[in-house]
Structure 1
Amino acid sequence: MRSAGQRGADRAGGKRRAGARGGADLPPRGPVMAACAFRRSIAAQLSKVLDLPPENLIKSISAVPVTKKRHVADFQLSIASVLENHSGDCLAQDLQLQAQKLAEKLKCDAVVSEISTGPGTVNFTINRELLAKTVLQQVLKDGSEYGKKSELFSLVPRQKAVIEFSSPNIAKKFHIGHLRSTIIGNFIANLKVALGHEVTRINYLGDWGMQFGLLGVGFQQFGDKEKLKSSPLQHLFEVYVQINKAAEDENIKKLAADFFRKLEEHDEQTLSLWKQFRGFSIEEYIRIYKRLGVHFDEYSGESFYQEKSQEVLRMLEDKGLLQKTIKGTGVVDLSEKKDLSLYSTVMRSDGTSLYITRDLAAAIDRMNKHSCDTMIYVTDKSQNSHFQHLFQILKLMGYDWAERCQHVSFGLVQGMKTRRGEVIFLEDVLDEVRSRMLQNMASAKTTKEVEDPMETAEKVGLAALIIQDFRGLLSSDYQFSWDRALQSRGDTGVFLQYTHARLHSLEQMHGNEQLTDVNASCLQEPDAISVLQHLLRYDEVLYRSSQDLQPKHIVSYLLTLCHLAAVAHKTLPVKGSAPELAQARLSLFRAARSVLASGMKLLGITPVTRM
């Protein structure tokens, strides 16, 4: 840490409180977020002591998470983050000593009312009235944009991103596993768009392969055109189950191979039937996506790249990357020593392409079409090896942009099968969660009369599914529990919806006009300060999720916000309070609801206003 002349300080308890006002400047005016204004003010003073540019210190100054302790600082500086040549093995007592030395050189001023030290940190408490006034003004002014234009994102370039997610196999019903890819991809797209990036959402359908030969034969034997029109996915599923029982029959195998060969040769009758399967499937999927609040900019599929995959094989051959095995299959050597100890099969012995070949063609086509900065694939973790191979082959082909491709993988949902071990279909889950929520709403004493109970139950039920899914690391498997997901108390999606509806009701009850000139001195109670401190952290939470694409940071933040708002709602009544006090408290609750709604929408949840 750079040295500077020492200044006297009261070391008692490691704290100093505001005395004479001087030193750092007041938060800058203009379109600067509350937390940014305070960070800049602290960084300005630190830069003079540490002889470092203020902008180098901004990201080292973080808002302190709210705890059950009544008095916590608002911001803290990690000493390790500003030490020169910090090796990571610095003793804790050394860091503590450095923190104390730095704190002694800093002054309280009009912004910072108290400076203290913690384990390896210097802590800053903001002037309480300034905290309340600045945070509320900023949240209520920015609305849904609060936190998204923070200077934490100033060094993050705006990008064009292509995100591939959901990607079901056509002619098959959505099962619960598809829910994870769909809601995770939707979250990543929502977050990137909110932060100013340009996003193309792609649904890459599994619409090609030998299984369609089997399905085609099955439909010829067991299919019904009327049932196909009325309930396409259910009927095709039933057909597939029936034909699958006979799949080992050599005659059926031959018929299936012949059907798929005709499909590849673009036989008119065969292609017409396949197009019906595909068209009806997409119509059904769009209906289900609408229930999930998800949309796509582009529906493509493996079939689009059947011919282009042959171009990829020619490119691999021209570059000397395609090797033939004794069996006649084509492989790409991925081993470091080039001894085929690690390889990827990209061609069948008959010269036709495989799934990875079509993925290579799709990646090249997308980059040519969209000129994107990054491509993100959202699938379960069983495909980790597939995407490692995909990106590695692209690099070998000379595509440097393969470094900017990313696979976001997720774990499995456990406990989502029937007692007979059968997979549960997604729409059945959506129907079940809506039905259970309707029952819960009907029996709850706090339920308000709503215009459309079915729609409200659907939104609340979907919130329950999303929050249970997003609470942990995406890569982890998790055990699904109906009872836990649908609880109105505790850390659930139902609790988020209930809190939002309750806060919205409070606003409606006391007038929905725009509040101005809040008297910040009316918001000095510990429960009010806790809410304000938490609102201060929102941009940091968004930044963290934007870096690792994990929704759990936002979920945890929103659940804490709801708990803090619930406590404040009990201890800081609006009804019966003096007008000035009531207005200040109403502003606090409105700000909390605004940030809650903003975060919920990023997660893919539509906030309800009554339930």
Structure 2
Amino acid sequence: MASFFRKQIAAKLGEALQHSEDAFIPALTAVPVLKKQNAADFKLSVSTLRMNGILPTSGDVQLQAENLATQLKQDSVLEHIFADRGAIHFKVNNKLLVQLLEPFGKGEDEKFGLSSDLFDTLKRGTTLVEYSSPNIAKKFHAGHLRSTIIGNFIANLKQSLGNNVIRMNYLGDWGMQFGLLGAGFGQFGCQEKLKESPLQHLFEVYVRVNKEAEHNEGLKEAARDFFRQLEQHESQALSLWQQLREITVKEYQHVYKRLGVHFDIYSGESFHQNQAQEVVQQLQSRGLLTKSKKGTGVVDLSPDRDMGSLCTVVRSDGTTLYITRDLAAAVDRKEKYNFDEMIYVTDKSQSNHFQQLFQVLLAMGHSWADRCHHVPFGLVQGMKTRTGEVVFLEDVLDEARARMLQNMSQSKTTKEMNNPEDTAEKVGISALIVQDFKGPLQSDYKFDWDRMLQAQGDTGVFLQYTHARLCSLIQRNDGLEAATFESSVLIEQACIAILQHLLRYDEILYQSAQDLQPKHLVNFLLKLCHLVASAHRELPVKGSPQHVAQARFRLFSAACSVLANGMRILGITPVDKM
């Protein structure tokens, strides 16, 4: 229905300005719902029309808006058109606005907002998303939480908009860090401890070997030697590497399952060790590889080729680096999956690495490197559990569940449920995700347990509480849904406010698809919850005349569906009771 209104407005504008209707659809925005009654549902900024060459760039903006508004005639769909602050505003007939709820009685709840004309401008195809990507043989660090949940959101969003999505976990399972662990395990490792608590033991070995290597040149040399053995496929080194890789992936899968995250492919640096050498040869044959004074192999990325910006791709001993394997991985993925775009999700400290990666790929003649993107994110500060410093993600998930369980046991509104631990886990993870997604991804943020788990305020707990409350209302009024829906009875401002807000859903998804920021969807869903809370107080279902109760039931059911759909895109599993 939002699409229908946009088309109607675009047709009027197209006729008045002698321009294609398609030019206006992405430029129209739904007006956010304010506390005071909204005067309009959609608006179009004159500055946008000037920028797109549709209106002259000279002259007073407000005057242009007024002139254009007078050319557009009101009708049965658009009951009010006016100019204000350099924009043209459009008020939709409320009787038609209520028809937004029509699809919800026909089993089309999950499709709501997804067939919008807005998405016609988005390129669809195969999207490969690389995210999480921890280093094997280390416990899943809390810092990996951001990459995992952001990547999962991007994959969910792209999939919901009709892309074929490949979810890839690219494990750090090669390189000097593994050489250090391999050498360290030989000295400090114990197979018994490895069976009992695999990642805990490997973490202890890794910490110890790093500490020892600081002042032990022999150990550093042993690490370099172990990595050389790996690159030369020496059987003993490969056997240990294989064992530690399998153990780690198995342990990670347990954590991913708790987060509701899955991958189509577990790849890793090791997959591309041979291809990395091929990349080096290709760089050489293209005349892109030169030797530095230190004897390393470098690619000159400076515009004037004056060695001002160097990318090192080979160590002086001939072994490959992380970027060499990344180059090989990118080329291999393009050949295997023929992606239309590839998205890497890592922290912002790696921005320079990806800039160099894409530049080298372009220099090698791979024009598709322009369709590779890095989504950087900031750091989480102060993530600690009751026991002190947090090292591992599982500790964070356990803590979130325990705290949520305690909050639920102390709340008077908590319902009886079969598995309170499972509910506490889902709600705790929602709280983690929403706290993480509320601001711009590139910003660092301060982790705050108490604020994150509040039931009031803009939190994941509030989203889940609203969803559970709506599910309870639907369950209590089971059988009320009518075959004939009398939309004309939904006249109260609390109803109209929810409908006006739902008009924005496709636009929010469109905006999210363009900048890959989850904050738009988070803030949309939180606002929906606040509007639902007001409507819940003002518009009782039980005790109202049947036709009114049925219409309100449809309104709350629609809000529940959109809330659940949006939560799933964010990577949150909605709960029905809490």
Query: TM-score over 0.5 for the alignment?
Result: yes
Task: Indicate the residue corresponding to 1:137 in structure 2.
Answer: 102
Cα distance between partner residues in 2 of 1:81 and 1:215: 57
1:175 to partner: Cα distance: 1.2
Task: Indicate the residue corresponding to 1:559 in structure 2.
Answer: 526
1:130 to partner: Cα distance: 1.4
Task: Indicate the residue corresponding to 1:193 in structure 2.
Answer: 159
Cα distance between partner residues in 2 of 1:89 and 1:371: 42
Match of 1:284 among 222, 244, 251: 251
Match of 1:606 among 564, 567, 573: 573
User: Which runs of no fewer than 5 residues in structure 2 stay unpaired?
Assistant: none
CA 1:184–1:308 in 2, change beyond 3 Å: closer, same or farther?
same
1:512 to partner: Cα distance: 5.0
- What do the CA deviations read for 1:454-486 (whole angstroms, capped 9, x no partner)? 110010000000000000110111111001100
CA 1:57–1:269 in 2, change beyond 3 Å: closer, same or farther?
same
Give yes or no for contact 1:64–1:72 (8 Å, CA) kept in 2. no
Scaled by the length of structure 2, the TM-score of the pair is: 0.96
1:514 to partner: Cα distance: 4.6
1:513 to partner: Cα distance: 6.0
Cα distance between partner residues in 1 of 2:258 and 2:515: 28
Give yes or no for contact 2:481–2:554 (8 Å, CA) kept in 1. no
1:422 to partner: Cα distance: 4.5
Cα distance between partner residues in 2 of 1:596 and 1:88: 42
What SS does structure 1 have at the residue aligned with 2:127?
Answer: strand
What SS does structure 2 have at the residue aligned with 1:46?
Answer: helix
CA 1:60–1:292 in 2, change beyond 3 Å: closer, same or farther?
same
Show the 5 A alignment for 1:190-229.
190-229=156-195
1:42 to partner: Cα distance: 1.8
Q: What code does the residue aligned with 1:128 have?
A: N
Q: What code does the residue aligned with 2:301 have?
A: L
1:89 to partner: Cα distance: 7.4
What SS does structure 1 have at the residue aligned with 2:26?
Answer: helix
Match of 2:130 among 139, 154, 164: 164
Question: Which stretch of structure 1 is more off in the superposition, 251-260 or 379-388?
Answer: 251-260
Task: Indicate the residue corresponding to 2:288 in structure 1.
Answer: 321
CA 1:579–1:43 in 2, change beyond 3 Å: closer, same or farther?
same
Aligned residues: CA RMSD: 1.7
Cα distance between partner residues in 2 of 1:259 and 1:299: 24
Q: What code does the residue aligned with 1:370 have?
A: Y
- What do the CA deviations read for 1:126-146 (whole angstroms, capped 9, x no partner)? 1111111x2001344421111
- What do the CA deviations read for 1:16-49 (whole angstroms, capped 9, x no partner)? xxxxxxxxxxxxxxxxxx1011111122222222
Task: Indicate the residue corresponding to 1:349 in structure 2.
Answer: 316
CA 1:575–1:513 in 2, change beyond 3 Å: closer, same or farther?
closer
Please identify runs of 4+ aligned residues in structure 1 that moved more than 6 A.
Answer: 86-89, 418-421
Aligned residues: 575
Question: Which stretch of structure 1 is more off in the superposition, 66-75 or 588-597?
Answer: 66-75
What SS does structure 1 have at the residue aligned with 2:298?
Answer: strand
Task: Indicate the residue corresponding to 1:103 in structure 2.
Answer: 69
Cα distance between partner residues in 1 of 2:183 and 2:258: 33
Cα distance between partner residues in 2 of 1:286 and 1:387: 27
Cα distance between partner residues in 2 of 1:37 and 1:324: 62
Question: Which stretch of structure 1 is more off in the superposition, 159-168 or 110-119?
Answer: 110-119
- What do the CA deviations read for 1:184-228 (whole angstroms, capped 9, x no partner)? 000000000000001111111001112223222322232221221
Match of 1:245 among 205, 211, 215: 211
Give yes or no for contact 1:418–1:424 (8 Å, CA) kept in 2. no
Aligned: 1:594 with 2:566 = no
Q: What code does the residue aligned with 2:63 have?
A: L
Cα distance between partner residues in 1 of 2:36 and 2:56: 29
Show the 5 A alignment for 1:253-268.
253-268=220-235
Cα distance between partner residues in 2 of 1:475 and 1:139: 37
Task: Indicate the residue corresponding to 1:363 in structure 2.
Answer: 330
Match of 1:123 among 62, 73, 89: 89
Give yes or no for contact 1:334–1:340 (8 Å, CA) kept in 2. yes
Q: What code does the residue aligned with 1:474 have?
A: L
Match of 2:431 among 452, 460, 464: 464
Give yes or no for contact 2:129–2:168 (8 Å, CA) kept in 1. yes
Question: Which stretch of structure 1 is more off in the superposition, 47-56 or 297-306?
Answer: 47-56
Give yes or no for contact 1:499–1:562 (8 Å, CA) kept in 2. yes
Give yes or no for contact 2:104–2:554 (8 Å, CA) kept in 1. no
CA 1:138–1:76 in 2, change beyond 3 Å: closer, same or farther?
farther
What SS does structure 2 have at the residue aligned with 1:332?
Answer: strand
Task: Indicate the residue corresponding to 1:524 in structure 2.
Answer: 491
Give yes or no for contact 1:335–1:343 (8 Å, CA) kept in 2. yes
Cα distance between partner residues in 2 of 1:513 and 1:606: 26
Scaled by the length of structure 1, the TM-score of the pair is: 0.91
CA 1:538–1:503 in 2, change beyond 3 Å: closer, same or farther?
same
What SS does structure 1 have at the residue aligned with 2:212?
Answer: coil
User: Which runs of no fewer than 5 residues in structure 1 stay unpaired?
Assistant: 1-33
Task: Indicate the residue corresponding to 1:26 in structure 2.
Answer: none
What SS does structure 2 have at the residue aligned with 1:353?
Answer: coil
Q: What code does the residue aligned with 2:471 have?
A: H
Question: Which stretch of structure 1 is more off in the superposition, 120-129 or 491-500?
Answer: 120-129
CA 1:413–1:282 in 2, change beyond 3 Å: closer, same or farther?
same
Task: Indicate the residue corresponding to 1:233 in structure 2.
Answer: 199
Query: Percent sequence identity over matched residues?
Result: 60
Task: Indicate the residue corresponding to 1:332 in structure 2.
Answer: 299
1:430 to partner: Cα distance: 0.1
Cα distance between partner residues in 2 of 1:461 and 1:353: 42
Aligned: 1:66 with 2:28 = no
CA 1:456–1:390 in 2, change beyond 3 Å: closer, same or farther?
same
1:427 to partner: Cα distance: 0.4
Question: Which stretch of structure 1 is more off in the superposition, 391-400 or 423-432?
Answer: 423-432
Match of 1:446 among 413, 419, 433: 413
CA 1:416–1:228 in 2, change beyond 3 Å: closer, same or farther?
same
1:553 to partner: Cα distance: 0.4
Give yes or no for contact 1:110–1:127 (8 Å, CA) kept in 2. yes
Question: Which stretch of structure 1 is more off in the superposition, 75-84 or 155-164?
Answer: 75-84
1:240 to partner: Cα distance: 1.5
Cα distance between partner residues in 1 of 2:431 and 2:154: 19
Q: What code does the residue aligned with 2:102 have?
A: Q
- What do the CA deviations read for 1:249-279 (whole angstroms, capped 9, x no partner)? 1232233233223222222222111111100
Q: What code does the residue aligned with 2:560 have?
A: R
Give yes or no for contact 1:346–1:354 (8 Å, CA) kept in 2. yes
